């Protein structure tokens, strides 16, 4: 991954969170720090690129909203860009905060990107946060944090690693991670790009030596990922964009298959949210275009 490629990916993600806080109501996920990762010029540039891309997402809506930049931007963001990242982040953080109250001492964010949890919850007692991501990702993040005037909390540890290709538990331990402590992991927006074998290996490596009560929160796609078009064909747009970017989506699973995979590592599904559950919990009180993606599920699995 090149630095400039990462910069674009991470900034678009930060943009979606910042835009949501500024423009949407009610707010699903209140990441009030995300906007500090973008300059005003970058925010404007991403806005224009998103608006200009509407013919790809819907020729019908491109014609209907022609000339109305703000309406186009809101439509693209709410239909395609923001629903899953916003809702899964809100779900994951709610679980993590609850787990911290139940004695978790370590929170590991796999594929952290420009995550801001460690700054928004800097007063959590006795919880060390580990952010795992590419070295280039972390370098970029540190540069942006410095530019925005944020200090790195003492309880936050960066671990440079592409865990999907070369999982090094030694690096995690070297950063202070303790396998005897109750831990919660988040793996958001990642499972789609793994094979079943890779996901199994990842679960095994992290959970084989952790104590009971340790857990993981992640999202996954069901078996309809490659056949369900979604409204305005947004599911297939997502699949096609991933393929075009050189990172094709690979993993889709039934709940029963996922239960077996997790059971191999002594993990039980404590909570599962279906697309309809996600719609009811995060999007039911809205009168805009934000709504749950048709094939995406959330899971909280706990070691027994």
pLDDT in tens, 114-150: 999 999 998 887 899 999 999 998 999 999 999 999 9
In this prediction the pTM is: 0.95
pLDDT in tens, 242-283: 999 888 999 999 999 999 999 999 999 999 999 999 999 999
All structural domains of the chain, each given as residue ranges with its CATH number in brackets, are 3-81 (no CATH), 83-303 (3.40.50.150)
Q: For strand 267-273 and strand 183-187, is the pairing parallel, antiparallel, or unpaired?
A: unpaired
Contacts 24+ apart (CB under 8 A), 242-249: 242/192, 242/193, 247/193, 248/193, 249/192, 249/193, 249/221, 249/225
Whether residue 2 has pLDDT greater than 70: no
Could you identify the residue written with the tokens 């990172």? 247
Q: What is the 3-state secondary structure (H, E, C) of 191-256?
A: HHHCCHHHHHHHHHHHHCCCCCCCEEEEEEECHHHHCCCCHHHHHHHHHHHHHHCCCCCCCCCCHH
Strand partners, 215: 184, 302
Number of H helices, E strands in the chain: 13, 7
User: Using the 8-state DSSP alphabet, how is residue 37 labeled?
Assistant: G
- What's the token pair of residue 199? 């996901």
């Amino acid at each position: 991954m090149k630095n400039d490629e990462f910069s674009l990916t991470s900034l678009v993600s930060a943009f979606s969170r910042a835009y949501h806080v500024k423009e949407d109501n009610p707010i699903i996920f209140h990441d009030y720090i995300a906007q500090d990762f973008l300059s005003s010029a970058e925010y404007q540039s991403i806005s224009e690129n998103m608006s200009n891309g509407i013919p790809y997402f819907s020729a019908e809506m491109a014609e209907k909203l022609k000339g109305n930049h703000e309406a186009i931007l809101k439509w693209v963001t709410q239909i395609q860009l923001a629903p899953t990242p916003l809702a899964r982040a809100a779900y994951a953080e709610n679980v993590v905060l609850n787990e911290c109250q139940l004695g978790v001492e370590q929170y590991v964010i796999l594929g952290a990107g420009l995550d801001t949890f460690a700054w928004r919850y800097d007063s959590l007692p006795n919880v060390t946060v580990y952010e795992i991501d590419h070295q280039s990702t972390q370098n970029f993040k540190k540069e942006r944090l410095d530019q925005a005037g944020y200090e790195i909390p003492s309880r936050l540890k960066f671990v440079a690693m592409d865990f999907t290709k070369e999982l090094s538990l030694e690096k995690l331990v070297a950063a202070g991670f303790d396998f005897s402590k109750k831990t919660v992991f988040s793996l958001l927006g990642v499972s789609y790009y793994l094979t079943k074998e890779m996901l199994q290996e990842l679960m095994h490596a992290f959970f084989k030596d952790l104590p009971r009560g340790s857990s993981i929160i992640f999202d996954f796609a069901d078996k309809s990922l490659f056949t369900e078009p979604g409204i305005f064909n947004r599911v297939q747009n997502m699949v096609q964009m991933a393929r075009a970017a050189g990172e094709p989506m690979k993993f889709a699973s039934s709940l029963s298959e996922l239960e077996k995979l997790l059971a191999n590592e002594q993990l039980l599904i404590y909570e599962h949210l279906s697309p309809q559950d996600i719609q009811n919990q995060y999007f039911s009180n809205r009168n805009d275009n934000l709504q749950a993606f048709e094939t995406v599920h959330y899971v909280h699995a706990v070691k027994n």
